[in-house]
Amino acid sequence: MKATAGNPSQKALLDDLREQDSWLLIVLDACRYPEFSELAPAVFEGDLEKMTTEGHDTFEYVRSCWPGSYPDVTYLSGTPAVNSGTLEIDDEALAEKYDGFVSADHIGDIVDVWQSGWNESLGVIPPWNVTPVAKDYLDENQLVVHHVQPHAPYVGVERELGHHNDESATPGDGEPIDAPLWRRIKSGEIAESRLAELYQSNLEAVLYEVAKLVEEAPHDTVVIMGDHGEALGEYWTYAHPRKDHPYVLTAPWMEVTGVEADWRSRLTVPDVDQSTATEDSSVAARLRELGYK
């Protein structure tokens, strides 16, 4: 993917970052530039720019952005799309998404935070379950922390989960967790104005946790970026299908130098539920719940 409209490419920015000895990279899944550019400057100090992403989803991101050997990198993954295992996945459609790429063959140490921090009632690992683990790894010189949010389901103060069966958000019949949500949006049951509120609230929830980590990070360079973007109705498109869409193929890149003194008062975040479950924490099962099939 070539950089468009003068935007730097994601791969080039990452290559430059990885040449440094001490850095923290925080990856936000499905992070749109417009909403991030409005919220982030009120929370973080630093330089923000729009970049062209290398792919349309996390699978394409990891294949394109981590193709070499990075033995010194520790990657804390909130998404099962980046995991420490092999490609022993029975579901052929899911296996095809990896296109033969095994993250663990390229990245030195992948920590499956998604496995230990999954919240069964939300149907996802929330950002507040990632932060305690990430703080334990802040002494790693080259560290990646990959959050699922602001990717759906929406777990902020403004909340829509898709499936919700009593106390569990586990989908039925193998349907991805956010499928009913997108159906309701496309049918008009959920207005696009409401979708915008949900997305922003989810972004605020994850930025709150990111700021807590940035406050303690000892690294020489700290960067926040999106692995890819998201469409919220522009050009009749939603989510991040594999089509060349301007809101899917652009995302923020922000080199952060600190946080604003009153940043906590600038974000609205939910009361948190730290409960987790590991009844079925297989890669394939969790990927289906997140919308991959």
Distances (CA, A) of 78 to 15, 75, 96, 185: 22, 10, 21, 26
pLDDT above 70 (res 280): no
Topology annotation, domain 10-289: Alkaline Phosphatase, subunit A (3.40.720)
What mean pLDDT comes out for the span 256-264? 97
Instruction: Give the mean pLDDT of the chain.
Output: 88
pLDDT in tens, 109-127: 999 999 888 887 888 899 9
d(CA 72, CA 224): 19
pLDDT in tens, 149-204: 999 999 999 998 876 654 555 555 556 777 788 888 889 999 999 999 999 999 99
First to last CA, the chain: 24
Distances (CA, A) of 101 to 96, 111, 205: 10, 17, 31
Token pair, residue 60, equals 């394409």
Q: Which residues contact 18 (CB under 8 A, 6 or more apart)?
A: 70, 73, 142
